[in-house]
Amino acid sequence: MTQHVNPDPEPERSTGLEPGGGVPPGETPPAESSMPEAGPRETHNPPKGWAKAPLTLILLLVAVVAAFFLVYALVLLL
């Protein structure tokens, strides 16, 4: 039978830890929002929103489906 080793380090032996197991300030990396210029500037693919043709086709399809269900409901009632 193999011996199972605990992967968690012992707080007493870990470097950079305070006596309660806490991490002192400066030991952890800064958060993403506190880093200026965190990534490259993206200029080749700026957002432009929805194009007029696809939005018109989607709205037309929604109107056709809604009209179908309205007529179907009227046929069932009458």
Q: What percentage of the chain carries pLDDT values higher than 70?
A: 50
pLDDT at 70: 97
Q: Is the pLDDT of residue 17 over 80?
A: no
Question: What b/e readout covers 51-78, taking b as 16+ CB neighbours within 10 angstroms?
Answer: eeeeeeeeeeeeeeeeeeeeeeeeeeee
pLDDT at 64: 98
pLDDT at 44: 74
Residue-wise pLDDT tens digits, 42-74: 777 766 777 888 889 999 999 999 999 999 999
Six token digits for residue 49: 């929103």
pLDDT bracket for residue 28 (50, 70, 90): low
